[in-house]
Amino acid sequence: MDRERKIRVLATKPGLDGHDRGIKVIANALMDAGMEVIYTGLRQSPEQIVETAIQEDVDVIALSFLSGAHDFLFPRIMELLKGKGVDDVLVIGGGIIPDEDISSLKEVGIAEIFGPGTYTDDIVKYIKNNLKR
Amino acid sequence: MFDDKKIGEIREGYRKWTDVLEARLAKRPERKGDFVNTSDIPVERLYTPLGVADFDYMRELGLPGEYPFTRGVQPTMYRGRLWTMRQYAGFATAEDTNRRYRFLLEQGQTGLSVAFDLPTQIGYDSDHPLAQGEVGKVGVAIDSLKDMEMLFDQIPLDKVSTSMTINAPAAVLLAMYIAVAEGQRVSSKELRGTIQNDILKEYSARGTYIFPPKPSMRIITDIFSFCSREVPQWNTISISGYHIREAGSTAVQEVAFTLANGIAYVEAAISAGLDVDEFAPRLSFFFNAHLDFLEEIAKFRAARRLWARIMRERFKAKDPRSMMMRFHTQTAGCTLTAQQPKNNIVRVAFQALSAVLGGTQSLHTNSMDEAFCLPSEEAVQIALRTQQLIAYESGATDTVDPLGGSYYIEELTKEVFGRAQDYIDKIDELGGAVSAVEKGFIQREIQDSAYRYQREIEKGERVVVGVNRFQVEEESPKDLLRVDPSVRVSQMERLKRLKSERDSRRVKDIVSGLKKAAQGNDNLMPIILDAVRAYATLGEICDALRGVFGEYQPVSTIG
């Protein structure tokens, strides 16, 4: 594992949801923790997200969602990643996601879900401890 | 407000009091070294008449119902009529939402407030590929007039007032509402309600934009002009600070960025040839009621005074109604916690009280479960009851502006006013609100405040009960309200049926006429109204406009 390089994170908003306060706060916190953050802005289709992740060669994808479409969009992104043979990127999610949905999201490969009230420091620690490459 | 001799006595008394106190503080200091509010305004230990000694009462406060409206927009405020209790609601299909509306009206709610799903807000029909996973989730799915007719089934539009949270496609949804009313034999002249129609805060804070600023501002002024003739009782815009605050701004920034947007709309309408007093009385506003109780009350009062000044001095309005800031308030969604959610009932209660003490015209109280999901019927009932408790039991409604004259509130009102004015000056220097958004200035200011707020929580400097203090182990909530994913399928079937039943050639003709009109300068409202009457879909209408106007490309403000 080459850790000379900074940890590269794709921070993104899949779907049509416009609530970007959380993801921007996290993007700032990850940058303050020394990571390199590529923030895509709003309204990214699953295809765009996967393409950007590959092009930018990121170690982590951080998905934020508050409008309830995580049940469709998160699995779709995992499916596309798998289809492209990407299996060494840590994918995490956050936003308004009911606890009862978390196990099915983990089953498709989302490593962790961070809900309201999470400390950004905990996300930084989690990323550092769980990188897949 | 006091004569010199009395002020001298107070000053002398205050000095002695401070001397005694300093000695005591050396031994037993206060809880914190510095007390500051969320806008970074220092909060003094005590406020006295010394702070308002030079205060010009008639200039700064005046009387309620009179310029500068600091004390309220109506002479009798809630002694005359209570605020409109208006819970924002909408989910799944038009039938499901219609049932919720009728429930709310039976429970004593006095106005409707429509939440649309994201595809509707961004001008996509439910069968659009980008609508996958989103149909009916955060609001009701509306594809055509057919859905709108079901949404208001058995609700008499001459009796209720309806607020619609719709921005980029506001012209289309307003046209549908007018068409539903026509079906009920209600004239557009009798309709009362509001469309949000505030595109500028979509660029800076909320995200449901479609078109670039210039054509968006043209559609908005078309609506102002059309409504001044055809829908005279309608609030043509709700210039919104709510979402700016939710995105993380301070109270001062909320006032400043909202009023800067307001200035941009007034300027756009004036340069389109409208007379200020023709459209300005129908402008309305929308604010957030956040946690700092007294700062919020001061914020509402300061916003009223500042808008009145701007309208009279900057835009030379003559009609007092043009200077009168009427606003809706919603309690702060971002302050709801997923931890110990019942605590949210109490947060909402004092936030709501601040809005009432700040003189709001209508109010939405959040439900305790909204950090997880859409509100359940039980939670929304408690939220509505909270308003009714304030209205009927608290006594806060029995006199006008009960906190007017409080030394602290008056100084704070002045401080919020001054700091918001400074921001507006800065935005003017940047070329106005549109240009400030295009430069990323407003977005950066908001995101910096949001980050600072989060750091304060994480460092423990800002206490959030149940989150960073007083935590308990708790189970996750059960039986959350969920929207069935089959809503998209049923909407798609309905669209298919609609397209086979309507006169499609007529729709095609009107839509190509709309494109031509969009290329020219004619008011777009009459033709959009024709299009919805012929059952052109929202997506068809917005696609036609996208073809002419293009789509907004946001600037990046991270990194």
- pLDDT tens, residue by residue, B97-147: 999 999 989 988 888 999 999 999 999 999 999 999 999 999 999 999 999
Mean pLDDT within B272-284: 96
The answer to whether B504 touches B536, Cβ cutoff 8 Å, is no
**C-alpha to C-alpha distance for B305 and B296, rounded to whole angstroms:** 14
Nearest by CB: A117 against B119, B338, B450: B338
Q: What is the pLDDT of residue B372?
A: 84
**Would you state the pLDDT for residue A3?**
59
The one-character DSSP state at B21 is H
Average pLDDT value for chain B: 96
Res A2 pLDDT > 60: no
| pLDDT tens profile A47-64 | 999 999 999 999 999 999
Interface contacts (A, B; CB < 8 Å)? 111
Q: Is B275 helix (H, G, I), strand (E, B) or coil?
A: coil
Q: Mind listing the pLDDT tens digit for each residue in B344-375?
A: 999 999 999 999 999 999 999 999 998 888 88
Residue B559 has pLDDT above 80, yes or no: no
B412-445 confidence digits (pLDDT tens): 999 999 999 999 999 999 999 999 999 999 999 9
When pLDDT is cut at 50, 70 and 90, the band that residue B495 belongs to is very high
Are A41 and B556 in contact (CB < 8 Å)?
yes
Tokens of B69: 């409206």
Half-sphere exposure for B505 (CA within 13 Å, toward CB): 0
Least confident of A81-85, A123-127, B103-107, B417-421: B103-107
pLDDT of residue A133: 87
pLDDT tens profile A100-117: 899 999 999 999 999 998
Of A121-125, B45-49, B102-106, B322-326, the poorest mean pLDDT is in B102-106
Average pLDDT over residues B238-250: 98
Nearest CA in chain B to A45: B130
Alpha-carbon distance of B237 to B196, in angstroms, equals 5
Q: Strand pairing partners for B329?
A: B287, B363
- Burial label for A97, CB within 10 Å (0-12, 13-18, 19+), is buried
Residues in chain B closer than 8 A to A15 (CB atoms): 118, 130, 133-134
Domains (ranges, CATH) in chain B? 4-52 (no CATH), 61-458 (3.20.20.240), 491-549 (no CATH)
Q: Could you give the 3-state DSSP secondary structure of residue B159?
A: coil
Nearest residue of B to residue A32 by CA position?
B559
Contact list, A102 vs chain B (CB under 8 Å): none
The DSSP secondary structure of B106-152, one letter per residue, reads HTT--SEEEPBPHHHHTT--TTSGGGTTTTTSSSB---SHHHHHHHT
* Residue A29: pLDDT over 90: yes
User: Which residue among A31, A39, A98 places its CB closest to the CB of B373?
Assistant: A98
Which residues of chain A neighbour B482 with C-beta distances below 8 Å?
68, 98
The mean per-residue pLDDT over the stretch B247-266 comes to 98
* Residue A42 touches partner B, C-beta closer than 8 Å: yes
The predicted pLDDT at position B478 comes to: 79
In which residue are the tokens 């200091």 written?
B29
pLDDT the model gives residue B3: 85
Backbone dihedral region for residue B52 (phi beyond 0: left; psi -120 to 50: alpha; all else: beta)? alpha
Distances (CA, A) of B519 to B218, B273, B512, B514: 11, 19, 11, 9
Tell me which chain B residues have a C-beta less than 8 angstroms from the C-beta of A31.
559
Q: Identify the residue whose tokens are 């206060």.
A: B30
Mean pLDDT of B53-58: 91
pLDDT (0 to 100) of residue B504: 94
Task: Give the distance from CA B169 to its chain's centroid.
Answer: 17
Residue B376 has pLDDT above 70, yes or no: yes
pLDDT above 90: residue A1: no
For residue B337, pLDDT over 60 is answered with yes
**Interatomic CA distance for residues B454 and A120, integer angstroms:** 8
| Full-model pTM | 0.96
Entry field: residues in chain A: 133
pLDDT band at B479 (very low <50, low <70, confident <90, very high): confident
Closest Cα in chain A, distance from residue B346 (Å): 18
Of chain B, the percentage scoring pLDDT greater than 90 comes to 92
Cα→Cα distances B121→B206, B493, B535, Å: 11, 20, 18
* Residues in contact with A48: Cβ distance below 8 Å, sequence separation at least 6, in sequence order: A40
Q: Render B288-349 in DSSP notation, one character per residue.
A: EE-S-HHHHHHHHHHHHHHHHHIIIIIS---SHHHH---EEEEE-GGG--SSSTTHHHHHHH
Domains, chain A, with CATH or none: 8-130 (3.40.50.280)
Cα B177 to Cα B404: distance, rounded to the nearest angstrom: 40
**Cβ contact A120–B454 (<8 Å):** yes
Which of B133, B451, B478 has the CB atom closest to A15's CB atom?
Answer: B133
